[in-house]
Amino acid sequence: MIKQVMELLNYDYCAEIALVLFLIAFTLVIIKTAFTSKKEIKHQSEIPLSDD
């Protein structure tokens, strides 16, 4: 039964879909990083050192 179900599944497009999702996520991270202000980056870098 499980063998028949696995044979019906089509994994041909999984690699392409994963690559596209990775590229979208990577692009969004680059855009977010490019538009973050230096003041915000400075604030975030000091978070581990703060007592709060």
d(CA 24, CA 31): 11
Residue type, 23: L
pLDDT of residue 25: 98
Element (H, E) at 52: none
The residue behind tokens 């039964």 is 1
CA 7 to mean position of chain CA atoms:
30
pLDDT tens digit sequence for 3-47: 888 788 878 888 999 999 999 999 999 999 999 999 999 998 999
CA 20 to mean position of chain CA atoms:
11
Among residues 32, 22, 27, the alpha carbon closest in space to that of 44 is found at 32
